[in-house]
Amino acid sequence: MKASYQKYTLEFKQPAGTSRGVLKYKDTYFLLIENKTEKGIGECNLFKGLSSDDRPGYEEKLQWVCDHIGMKPAEMMQELQEWPSILFGYEMAMKSLQSGDPFTLFPSPFTQGQDAIPINGLVWMGDQEFMMKQLEDKLEAGFSCIKLKIGAIDFDAEMKLLKSVRSRFRESEVTIRVDANGAFQPNEALAKLEEISKYKVHSIEQPIKQGQWQEMAQLCEKTPVPIALDEELIGLYDSKKRSDCLDQIKPQFIILKPALVGGFANSRDWINLAGERNIDWWITSALESNIGLNAIAQFTYTLGVSMPQGLGTGGLYTNNIEAPLEIKKGALYCNDIAGWNTNPINI
């Protein structure tokens, strides 16, 4: 068995605004594993400024994986526990290698084109006109769950957007989620949550920056809007730390990005811990290419989800890998008629 990796730069169709800045392109890495007859591909989705393995030595660690690809999988996964995006890429590539079809990791009615996954429509940060245009497009496309990135423009302007949606659609018609990406200060967060609650919002992701467990716990106890932990989960590598986080903060939801929490097995661990505490969850992509998005979507479907998931990022790039993934009326489908075109990454 042999392995190699390849860096690939994804280019956004339009700049993607978050409270951390504006993204115009994003680097990712593909891990290819081969034996005599099969190939497997995984995506090591390094998210700069967010992944806990965004640190010196990343490509050296990828090369180390390639050099030691014959290591027992359990030992390799232990070795990579603190390199979550590489761990996920390795786990994905091994699953791909063993699957016969390298792009069908979890066969199901979803992969056969017989069923779909409900997803939310994502509205990126920008000026009010830009965000309103995105909103209109998502509603026209048939989304019944909208997620708005907030925290970058004037808060009052963002509230006007929420008011505009609620003036046209009742809570039973359109679900609104908001994502602050940690933009609020702890001393102002509760007042802002009170304002947001006027518009019957389903949830808010990460209202304050991660690592402030005491302040977040107080918010979760008092909040009028259910709080979902997102960035808070990053860098917690074992079940004990994860349990401590959930027990102290007591969130209403957690959001799992497999590339940031360490893949399928670690996502399942979070889901089990959350279930023991009656904490609900959903799964979100983290700006992967379609290679990673495909794997995450297939995995997500096997979990029997009914709540809209955050898997609508496949159309963000000008040079994404062509895949049989399609969004129709607020749901993600795997079109078994369409195929893959991996020419850009020489596979």
| C-alpha distances in Å from residue 341, one per residue of 27, 103, 146 | 19, 11, 30
User: Residue 58: how many CB atoms within 10 A of its CB?
Assistant: 18
Eight-class DSSP state of 346? T
Tens of pLDDT, residue by residue, the chain (347 residues): 999 999 999 999 887 766 566 788 999 999 999 998 999 999 999 999 889 999 999 999 999 999 999 999 999 999 999 999 999 999 999 999 999 899 999 999 999 999 999 999 988 777 778 878 888 888 889 899 999 888 877 899 889 889 988 888 889 989 999 999 899 999 999 999 999 999 999 999 999 999 999 999 999 999 999 999 999 999 999 999 999 999 999 999 999 999 999 999 999 999 999 999 999 999 999 999 999 999 999 999 999 999 999 998 888 899 999 999 999 999 999 987 778 988 877 76
Q: What is the DSSP string of 79-102?
A: HTTT-HHHHHHHHHHHHHHTTSST
Q: For residues 263 and 111, give the distance between their C-alpha atoms in angstroms, rounded to a whole number.
A: 19
Q: What is the DSSP string of 272-319?
A: HHHHHTT-EEEEB--S--HHHHHHHHHHHHHTT--SPBB---TTSBSS
Q: Quick check: helix, strand or coil at residue 159?
A: helix
For residue 138, indicate whether it is catalytic: no
95, 138, 149, 192: the active-site residue: 149
Q: Which two tokens stand for residue 333?
A: 């489908």
Eight-class DSSP state of 204? E
26, 61, 209, 257: the active-site residue: 257
**pLDDT for the residue numbered 324:** 95
> Is 108 exposed, middle or buried, given 0-12, 13-18 or 19+ CB atoms closer than 10 A?
middle
For residue 257, indicate whether it is catalytic: yes
**pLDDT for the residue numbered 19:** 56
Domains of the chain by range and CATH? Answer: 2-97 (3.30.390.10), 117-345 (3.20.20.120)
**pLDDT for the residue numbered 131:** 79
User: Residue 89: how many CB atoms within 10 A of its CB?
Assistant: 31
Amino acid at 334: C
**pLDDT for the residue numbered 20:** 62
User: Residue 213: how many CB atoms within 10 A of its CB?
Assistant: 13
Q: What size, in residues, is the chain?
A: 347
pTM here is 0.94
Sheet with strand 175-179: strands edge to edge: 121-123, 145-149, 175-179, 203-205, 227-229, 253-256, 280-283
